[in-house]
Chain A
Amino acid sequence: MKSYRLVLNLTVATLIGGLVAVGHAEDGVTKDEIRIGSFGPLAGPVYMYGKLAMNGLEALFDKVNQEGGIHGRKLKLVREDDACKPEGGIAAVKKLIYDDKVFAINGGGCSNSTLAARPEIVKAGIPFVVNSAVADGISSPPAPNIFTTQLTATIESRAQLRYALEQKAKKVAIVAQHDAWGRSRYEPMMTALKEQSIRPVSDEEMTIDQNDGTAQALKLMQTGADAVLLVVYPKPAAVLIRDSLKLGYKPLWIGQTAIQDLPQLQEQVGIPGALEKFVSIATIPAHPDDPEMAEWRERIKKLFPNDALSVFNLMGIGSGMVVVEALKRAGPDLTREKFLTAMGSIKNFKTGMYPGPITCKPPVSNQCNQSVGWIKFGDGKPKSAGVTTLD
């Protein structure tokens, strides 16, 4: 009886103890290694922004390590899943900081989980460079240890509206998802409209799994909208465009960075010529099938045989390049402060991925990417449709 008690006590203690962090690692830097953490959804409907972006980051680290690392240290990626939920974001960030003890974090796949995790990150002072999440609240008001290389929701929404107005649209409509992702863009969009004293003629909702857009298309047609601002994911967008074509309704469709793979969108709609009056914002204007991307295609194939290079990988790579540059500039005697100073020193840095140069302007703005690259689809290929730089 007593021995059972003892055994059970020990088992429970070990069980709990298993959760307790053991280890006295420094803040993620040893003489041969730099540990960079990343968090985002690794499973679930929006895993592209987490898992695929991290795959890209790993491909970049692989390349850097092959070329000798940074001041002799190899880069190691530590992934944590946040399930795209606030609870998950807080847990993932706590784990990265206190358990995995990483040097810095380059990630943030979902806006709502990253927003929820922000206080924790600020409190810990760990450097954080956002690569996918767009919510403004993450990087604004500026915190000394948070930078973003992703376009923010405000930048994108304003750019969408600006494009519509530049194309002389008279009646602007919005179709948006009202989930966490959609809201982070919808609110700045409404603010931008108000500032311009424009009332949208139609404000419709779609859900991420919606199979038919006829009701929405009918509403849009009835109001005669000539430009539609799309704040939706590829599936609702494809469904909406398809059903609008069915009704013979052909407005100017203006998308954003969630809809970047235009050849795939054309396939998803199915009807030839569907994207004639369609533009969208590309975080990365290059398409995975472009000749310049051959090296990355090979690297992704090598590391992840089931995958094919996608824009989400490229998003991870682009942001990672900025982080790698800052790590280089921080020098061999690497500390978090030096890294943050190095991030602040990045001006007009060309990645070959983002449409414009990356410029960080602490303490006024740590939103380092202000260039919106437009893409459209013609002759069966995506094409650039100009770059707008806001400030």
Chain B
Amino acid sequence: MLVLSYLLVTGITTGALYALVALGIVVVYKATEVVNLAHGELFMMGGFLAYTLHVMVKLPYVPSLLLAVAGSFAIGILTDRVAFRPLMKEGLVSVLLATIGISFILKGTARVLWGGKGDYLAFPPLVSPEPIRIGNVMIMSQQLVVLLAALAVMLVFAAFFKTTRAGKFMQATASNPRAAALVGIHVSRVYMYTFGVGAAVAGASAVLMAPLTLLYPDIGFALFIKGFAAAVLGGLTSVPGAIIGGLLVGILEQLAAGFIGTTMQDVSAFIIIMFALIVLPTGILGVRGIRKI
């Protein structure tokens, strides 16, 4: 029984990691209908920026976090300018490849700048590195921070999309850019800020997650694949779906590892998704797309 509790709790804490990544992906997709394949690397750069500021330059935690988020926001805007806007009209494949190009540039740059410092860099946790007790299980305090952050981000975005004007602008732009432009929404600015916000979320996530996942140039890719899978499972257009997808992927992985075998841990997410998409072609909470003629 304790084993099951631990597997579930671990599934939730690792799921929270995936959920945070998925949230960034979904936010960008909701407005632009594009998946930013460099999202993982934006995450990674945010983490390294924070590392440079907090560990190397020895700035205190909160300013480092804020500056790292600002830096990620800037890189996100750059991505929009360089990859998305010029290629929007050429189709999905071109945009995807451009974001892939950016991901390589970012990864290579990180390797050159920070790669020689060590294989996996440690980042200090927000509170304490010791495990804490919740009910009858122990978890790392940072895992709790990440889980709370994921929920907080989700609530903020859900509220944002539902209630604020800016949120409605973004949804309007996604569903009908021409009409949105006609009613005076500055479409290209919406796209730009969306990329920025998605990247900022990635950067903030990285700083929170880095004590658990460690920092290295390849961290972006591994997390992105799982986060992307989680986002699609939850439905690419749904903010709560990102959380649900993330938690589901996390839990399923742990259950597979615990009850079938640890060799199944890494691949179980993909097997589930392959089959889930057959039954639910747009994910669990995804909106049934309009068939385009």
Contact = CB atoms under 8 A, between A and B. Distances in A.
- Whether A and B touch (Cβ < 8 Å) is answered with yes
Given A211-B212, A212-B10, A245 B116 contact: no
A204 interface: yes
Contacts of B117: 306-308
Nearest to B259: A215
A246 B131 contact: yes
18 contacts: A43-B108, A205-B265, A210-B266, A212-B254, A214-B10, A215-B258, A216-B257, A218-B7, A218-B258, A238-B120, A246-B131, A246-B140, A248-B138, A264-B120, A268-B122, A270-B122, A270-B129, A306-B116
B282 interface: no
A308 B222 contact: no
Interface string B180-219: 0000000000000000000000000000000111101011
A52 B258 contact: no
B52 to A, nearest CB: 12
Contacts of A211: 14, 17, 212-213
B118 interface: yes
Interface in A190-244: 204-207, 209-212, 214-216, 218-219, 222, 233-235, 238, 242
Interface in B98-127: 108, 111-120, 122, 125
Interface string B115-152: 11111101001000111000000111000000000000
Contacts of B14: 211-212
Contacts of A234: 119-120
Nearest to A237: B120
A47 interface: yes
B258 A267 contact: no
Contacts of B119: 48, 233-234, 261, 264
Interface of B: 3, 6-7, 10, 13-14, 17, 108, 111-120, 122, 125, 129-131, 138-140, 211-214, 216, 218-219, 222-223, 254, 257-258, 261-263, 265-266
B123 to A, nearest CB: 9
Given A218-B3, A246-B139, A310 B258 contact: no
A60 to B, nearest CB: 17
Nearest to A306: B116
A205 B262 contact: yes
A264 B216 CA distance: 13
A246 B118 contact: no
A44 B10 CA distance: 29
B138 A247 contact: yes
A52 B116 contact: yes
Size category of the binding interface on chain A: 35 or more
A246 B119 CA distance: 24
A331 to B, nearest CB: 37
Interface in A243-291: 245-248, 261, 264, 267-268, 270-272
Contacts of B7: 214-215, 218
Given A214-B6, A264-B118, A207 B214 contact: no
A50 to B, nearest CB: 11
Given A43-B108, A234-B120, A307-B116, A207 B129 contact: no
B78 to A, nearest CB: 22
Contacts of B258: 215, 218-219
